[in-house]
Structure 1
Amino acid sequence: MLILGVLTTLGAFALALWFIARGDTEIPEWASAGLAALFVPVLAVFFIRFQFWNTMANAVPVTAKQFPELHELYAALGAEMGFTGSKLQALPQLYVINGNGVLNASAAKCQVRKAYIQINSDLLDIAYELGDFRTVRFVLAHELGHVKLRHVSIWRLILGPVNTILTLRPSISRAQEYSADRVGCYYEPEGARGMAVLFAGKRMYQRVNLEEYYDSIRSHRVGLWLRAANYFADHALGFRRMAAIEQTASQGWNVHGKML
């Protein structure tokens, strides 16, 4: 998907130059997006600084004295994953934000060569209230996987304008999410099954019969509308995502989540 994204962007840029060379006064939107891609890195530098400060100023940094259990888990995981250097190899700062009921976490840039990770307080409830630190460890490994695989690199934003118009951007994101899930499965295989929290909620997910859930995934009909919904989603639909996690655990690493 990344190669396809690069090729479509280069193709749109080349065609935009061709239209200009011909003296055309009107350039198709998808072609002009190829020219717009040139300005994305410059704009991104300003955007990531704004987004970081907007997040950091409304969040609680995780330190050895602030949420010490979470800090210890995160630092150990980071060392295991090789985040022991500086800049891109430094362990990203972790922040806790008020999720307002949303179960989510994300990785992003705070500087050109530095990243940070934020995790919603609602996800941490399952650790501090229910004692499920394994699922939280999976989530953190997933987000650190995004950083490790350079999914948050600024240059990838260049692919955005053209591939958004061509409806390929969600597919690139979906492929990245599958990859980050595989990283999470490697470092915390037990926590991966806890991803049912995204679909059943933090109060009910531990009551989900996972075998029955996986049986329902295997038995459902794969039709046009499921494929369409999955195609336009930047994260694989729950059935597809959980199926890939289960197959990784049972069949090994030569498993790829379904894109369509």
Structure 2
Amino acid sequence: MLPPRGLSPWGMPARHRFENALLVLAITVTALAYLVSIALLVSGRLDTWIGILLLAPLLVYLARGRMYAAQRVNGVKMSPTQFPDGYRMVAEAAARFGMSRVPDGYVVLGNGQINAFASGHGFRRYVVVYSDLFEVGGQARDPDALAFIVGHEVGHIAAGHTSYWRQLGMFGANYVPVIGSSLSRAQEYTADNHGLCNRPTGAAGAIGVLGAGKYLMGLVSFHEMADRAGTERGFFPWLVNILASHPVLTWRAAALRDRSRHGRIFFRP
């Protein structure tokens, strides 16, 4: 029996409370867009956007296949002998979330970028970590921050965010302002809940590296970042968040610090 889901880092990670509702809205928008496109096609109209939408099942499939192939032929696959710390972190995160299959892990050249992502193709799921992030686990000496980030990405897989059908269902909504981005932010909060459950001591370091990079992360005060979520007010800070695929960093820090409620999607903490 798995522990109950919640916002505490000691149980199983909770899904953001708005995620499912926003997913239903996104799928509804996409379905309506398909129906409108089919009706227009039957009436004899064929615009570029209609063709793209109707070809979405094939386009999504090809894009996922190409992305996976790129990691297989260019990335360094984590193993007990290549990036063994990352290999262990991916396996530990999968076990923490009760996953029956451990995702593959790849390291790709970062060229100074701090990034990681999760995706899949067919029945395979995988995590990609930019090489610069491994300096967080090494030279910058905050392996907990790296474990949090790895847990975040494995969390996307555990929560079903990398499913072909889910991404296809979101396809049309991604082109509608606010709807697609709001669902994406909810999914990021869900993944943060997974990262916190995987390595709660890494949350502050993860905010630090995302805010100031791998070498200056130690100068970032997690609590000052979280405090500013309630003081940076106005229309334009709100607009930046509402159009972003990820919650703004100050709101994200506030959500990781205050585990009494879910992270804010639309309005500041």
Q: Identify the residue that residue 30 of structure 2 maps to in structure 1.
A: 9
Residues 130, 256 of structure 1: alpha-carbon distance in 2 compared, 3 angstrom cutoff: closer
Is 1:217 aligned with 2:238?
Answer: no
| TM, length-normalised to structure 1 | 0.84
Partner SS, residue 116 of structure 1? strand
Note if contact 2:208-2:221 (Cα within 8 Å) is conserved in structure 1: no
Root mean square deviation of aligned Cα = 2.2
Maintained 8 Å contact 1:62/1:95? yes
Normalising by structure 2, what TM-score? 0.82
Do structure 1's residue 205 and structure 2's residue 217 form an aligned pair? yes
SS at match of 1:63: coil
Deviation at 1:198, TM superposition (A): 0.6
Deviation at 1:19, TM superposition (A): 4.4
The reply to whether residue 75 of structure 1 matches residue 86 of structure 2 is no
Contact 1:96 1:118 (C-alpha < 8 Å) held by counterparts: yes
Show CA shifts across 1:15-49 (max 9, x none).
3444456x3x447887x37xx54532333333222
Q: Higher Cα Rg: structure 1 or 2?
A: 1
1:256 is aligned to 2:243: no
Following the alignment from structure 1 to structure 2, what is the Cα–Cα distance between the partners of residues 181 and 81?
13
User: In structure 2, do the counterparts of structure 1 residues 161 and 215 end up closer, same or farther at CA, with 3 Å as the change threshold?
Assistant: closer
Are 1:238 and 2:245 an aligned pair?
A: no
1:197, CA displacement in angstroms?
0.9
What SS does the corresponding residue of 2:258 show, helix, strand or coil?
helix
Secondary structure of 2:81's match? Answer: coil
Structure 2 residue runs of 5 or longer lacking an equivalent are 1-21
Matched, 1:120 2:130: yes
Runs of 4+ in 1 over 6 A off after TM superposition: 27-30
Identity %: 28
Q: Which has the higher contact order (CA 8 A, sep 6+)?
A: 2
Cα shift at 1:157 = 2.5
3-state DSSP of counterpart to 1:57:
helix
For residues 27 and 171 of structure 1, what CA distance do their matches in structure 2 show?
30
Q: Tell me how far apart the structure 1 counterparts of residues 122 and 53 of structure 2 sit (CA, whole Å).
A: 17
> In 1, distance between residues paired with 2:258 and 2:46?
46
Task: Look up the SS of the partner of 1:256 in the other structure.
Answer: coil
CA distance in 2, matches of 1:49, 1:15: 28
**1:76-131: per-residue Cα shift (whole Å, max 9, x none)?**
23222223x3xxxx21111111111111110011x311111110111110111132
CA distance in 2, matches of 1:7, 1:150: 18
Structure with the higher helix share, 1 or 2: 1
**Letter paired with 2:265:** K
Q: 41, 54, 65: which is aligned to 2:81? A: 65
Residue 14 of structure 1 deviates from its aligned partner by 2.9
Give the Cα separation in 2 of the matches to 1:161 and 1:209. Answer: 38
Q: How far apart, in 2, do the equivalents of 1:206 and 1:247 lie? A: 21
Change (3 A) 1:65 1:219: same
Deviation sequence 1:156-184 (CA, Å, 0-9, x none): 23234422332222222121111111111
Give unmatched runs, 5+ long, in structure 1.
none
Post-superposition CA distance 1:144-163 (Å, at most 9, x none): 11101111111123234422
- Structure 1 residue 230: Cα displacement: 1.2
- Return the alpha-carbon distance in structure 2 between the equivalents of residues 8 and 91 of structure 1: 33
Q: How does 1:1-260 map to 2 (within 5 A)?
A: 1-19=22-40, 23=43, 25-26=44-45, 32=50, 36-83=52-99, 85=100, 90-109=101-120, 111-167=121-177, 168-194=179-205, 195-221=207-233, 223-248=234-259, 251=260, 254-260=261-267
- Look up the SS of the partner of 2:126 in the other structure: strand
